[in-house]
Each structure stands twice: as C-alpha cells, then as structure tokens.
Amino acid sequence: MNWIIAFLPAVGWGLIPIISGKIPSSRPLNEIYGTGIGAVIIGIIFTIIAHPKMSIGIFLLAMISGIGWAVGQIGQFISFTNIGVTKTMPISAGLQLIGSCLIGGLIFHEWNSPKAIFLGILALVLMVVGVFLTSISKGYNESNQLKDFLLLLFTSIGFWIYATFPKTVKVSGKDLFLPQMIGILLGAIIYLVFSKKTAAFKEKASYWNILTGFSFSIGACAYIFSVEENGVASAFIYSQIAVVIATLGGMYILGDKKHGKDLVLTLVGLALIVAGSFIS
C-alpha cells in the first residue's frame, strides 16, 4: 500500500476547517466562495497535466455532483460558526458515512451476502451511536441543537450526491475532477446570489479562503490516485481519518476546547464513527 497517497486525502480534507478557521473575518459565505475558486485552480492544473477525457453529458452531470458538494460544505461552514468544529465534524462525517453506506447497500446492491448485510448494519449502528454521542453537549439549548443537526442532515444530501455519483457512471475519477470543481464554484456563486450576499465577491477573506479550496481539491485529487493505488475500500477508509484531524485540530489549534463529559463523549463517538467506516 502507498501510505503517503492513502493519507493525503485525510490531511487535505481534515485541514479544511482549520485553515478557514484561522483566516481573519472569515464567514461561511467567504469560505465557500474561496473554496470554489481554489478548487477550480487545482482542477485546471490537474487537467493540463493529466489530459482527462470528457464528454458533454458526463461533464454536466459531474458538475451537478460538484454543486452537491458545495451544498454540503455550506452546511458545514455555517455549523463551524454556530456550534464549532469539534461538534460539526464528527456529526457531519457520521451523516455522510451513514448515507453512503445506505446508498451503497440498498441502491447499488453492495450488501449482496448475509455477511455483507451483517457488517453493513453493524457499521450503521456504530456510526449512528457515534453521531448521537458527539451531538450531546452539556448546557446546549435543545432547540438549537435540533436545528443545527437538521441543517447538517439536510445539507449532507449534497455530500451523498457527490460521493456516490462516480458509482453511477463508468468513468475514471480523473475525467470527473475538473467539472466537479467547476460545480463547486458554481454552487458557491448560486448561494451568494440567491442569499443576496454578493458583497463576499469583494471581501479579502473570500480570497484568503482560496487556500481552503487548495486543501480540499488536493485531497480530492489525491483520493483519485489512492483509489488506483490502494483500491476503493482502503482509499475510502483511510480518507475518513480526516474527521480525527479536523476534530483534534479544532480543539488544539482553533481553541474549540471540550472538557469533562463532553470531551469523553466526543472522543468515544469519534472512535465509533471511525470504526464504523472501517467496517463499512
């Protein structure tokens, strides 16, 4: 196994909230727009080097899946502001894994044996319990907690679309990369226009967040090569270490500290989510 390539996606994706969190005056609208620009820049560089094959139909569908990712990431960026990185990342990662597991098992018939069904259900149980434990917070308003959870649940549908799209078409990930990155930028622009927050187009924080886009897209690019080198299962499993990097980074770099019972529940929940990803 190529360990460097296996862990690069986790590093790239795990650093997203840490980079955006360290940018002064950065808001969710700056973060998603800057991420889109950075993603397209890396997408263009990758295309020049790799010379992927693209048809108009696949290009448009891949672009729509990129818009899906933008929807999911908008939910994450908003939640980073509302409830912090250490709570957002485990819940969001758990929801993504649960959705991908169910879609793979029920729609793409990956649960094709009694053993696969058993492991799939076990993985789901571990991840559901993990999400529940990480969502518990002493002294946190229950109505706000439900609102933030529902935001992540709804926007995670976008991540599901992005993650499962390659399974619907027999095309190399290299061929999908640029249109997906364009879709992310397009989704960001649509969000800013329809939410009437176009001031973000001129704000310095938006352009500093191009670094956030570099982190995401380098991770996504590395994931393509990890799949080729290590196989889909191993590549996916090791990419999920991103939630550990993001959560611990939130605690010790962004100062999103947890103490006592909250810390224990978060760490246990995190461990269950990661364990569920390995089993799935």
Give the per-residue pLDDT at 6: 84
> How many angstroms separate the CA atoms of 170 and 139, rounded?
49
Report the range of poorest mean pLDDT among 50-54, 108-112, 179-183.
108-112
pLDDT(63) > 60: yes
Per-residue pLDDT at 245 exceeds 80: yes
Look up residue 143 and give its amino acid.
S
* pLDDT range class, residue 263, cuts 50, 70, 90: confident
pLDDT in tens, 85-110: 988 998 898 888 888 888 878 887 77
What is the model's pLDDT at position 143? 64
* Token pair of 176 as six digits: 């999908």
Q: What is the pTM of this model?
A: 0.89
pLDDT reported for residue 185: 97
Per-residue pLDDT band for 1 (boundaries 50, 70, 90) equals: low
Residue 135 has pLDDT above 80, yes or no: no
More confident residue, 204 or 125: 204
pLDDT tier for residue 214 given thresholds of 50, 70 and 90: very high
Pairwise CA distance, residues 177 & 131, whole Å: 30
Distance separating alpha carbons of residues 168 and 188, to the nearest angstrom:
24
* pLDDT tier at 65, thresholds 50, 70, 90: very high
Q: How far is CA 147 from CA 42, 141, 210, 258, in A?
A: 35, 10, 29, 21
Burial class (CB in 10 A: 0-12, 13-18, 19+), 54: middle
Please tell me the predicted confidence (pLDDT) of residue 76. Answer: 95
Q: Which percentage of the chain shows pLDDT scores above 90?
A: 46
Higher per-residue pLDDT: 225 or 142: 225
pLDDT at 142: 62
Lowest-confidence region among 13-22, 51-60, 99-108, 189-198: 99-108
